Structures are given as C-alpha cells and as structure tokens.
Amino acid sequence: MIKLFYHPSPNPLKVALFLEEAHLPYEMIPVDTRKGQQHAPEFLKINPNAKTPAILDGDIPVFDSNAILLYLAAKHQLFLPVENDQNKAQIASWLMFIATGIGPYCGQAVHFKRFAPEPKEYAVNRYDFEAWRHWNIIEAHLKGKAWMVADTYSIIDMSLWGWARMIPVILGDDAWDKLPNTKRWIDSINARPAAQRAEALKTQHEFTIAVDDAAKRHLFPSNARLGL
C-alpha cells in the first residue's frame, strides 16, 4: 500500500487528489510541518529536501509533488494523455510551468505578504506581480477549454488545482472576479467526489494551525541567520 506523507497544504493535496481519483489504496501519514516533523531523520530518508508531500510505494520513495504525479500516472497509465507528441509536449510544458512558476511565486507571495518582517514592499510587489502574471497566463489558456491539456482531465489539472484553491489567499478576495475561466475550471474540479475526499483528509489529524515563533523556526529556518 502507498504511504502518503501529508500536510494540508497545496502540494500534498494534488497527490491526494490523484490517489482518490485513481482509487488507489493508501495510508495517510501526517507530517506536522509547524512542529518541525519534516526535519525528522526518518522523514529525511524519504525526502532529503524536508518538504511534503512524499510517498513510499512499497519500498520506493518519491518526493516532490509533480514528480509523484508523473510517477503514479506513468505507472498506472492514468490521467496522462500522451498519445501523441503534441500532448507529450503540452504535459511536460505545463507541468514545468506549475513546478517552476505557479508554485514558487504563489508560495513566496503568501510568505512575504503574511509572514515576512518589514520592510517588504519590494518583495511583496515582485511576487504579487509574478503570481498574477502566471495566473493570467492560465486564465488566457483556459478560455474556451474545459481542461488544461488535450481536452481531458489530467495530472496537469490536479497539479494546478492544489494551488488554485488558494487564489483568494494569494491574490486577494476579489481575484476570482478577474479570473472567470479559472474559476469555472476549478469549480468543475471541486465538484468531483475525489476532490472532496482529498479536501477532507485534513480532518483526519489535528494539525497545528498557529504560525507562532516556534512554528516559524521550523517553517523558515533561514530566519536564524538573521537572528529572527
């Protein structure tokens, strides 16, 4: 049985969505990142990068959410429309766009808006601008399309969904008014029973919610270099 090392944040949720859609049996192993459990030696053996998610597929460790999606989709031949070179190129391009653009810029936008000390105007402006720029690319791409690639539900939609759920937190409460195609797309995923089951995973364990000084030490170890 697959073991999913999980925290209720965007990247683990995309893997949970795949597992639920594929009806693959798995065990959810909670990793409370605000308690620093991602730095435990036993977890570092599975993911030396000390981040969730990771999986153990039998004795095979896989880490990074997009790598996990690719691994599972290829192994089980599900949600991976690669019947021709055009689809293969689109899958690779959009998956890397999410991995190198959507995820990092959205994560940094939230970090600097909510957790960084002043002064932070330059950083907030840069990451908010880039987060918007990336989502506007998605918005334009989804015009007239039900799904991201090949008019079929795929791991690209699952990967993007993890972050799209957080758009009001990342971009502001009125963001959906400016992203109607993206809103239509995410509503169609949110209506899927598998997405609802993935969302419900967070109720199976009492994860730490507060981001107090102790949590910040675990989440942002770089702060120690500044004496914060």
pLDDT by residue (tens digit) across 135-167? 999 999 999 999 999 999 999 999 999 999 999
Place of tokens 């195609």: 181
Contact 98, 160 (CB under 8 A): yes
Residue 174 has pLDDT above 90, yes or no: yes
If phi > 0 it is left, if psi is from -120 to 50 it is alpha, else beta; for residue 9 that is beta
pLDDT > 90 fraction of the chain, expressed in percent and rounded: 99
What does pTM read for this prediction?
0.96
- What's the average model confidence in pLDDT over 45-57? 98
In the chain, the domains with their CATH numbers are 2-78+204-226 (3.40.30.10), 85-191 (1.20.1050.10)
Cβ-Cβ contacts under 8 Å for 143 (sequence gap 6 or more): 181
Confidence tier at 114 by pLDDT (50, 70, 90): very high
Residue 78 has pLDDT above 90, yes or no: yes
Residue 98 has pLDDT above 90, yes or no: yes
Predicted local confidence at residue 42, as pLDDT? 97
Confidence tier at 228 by pLDDT (50, 70, 90): confident
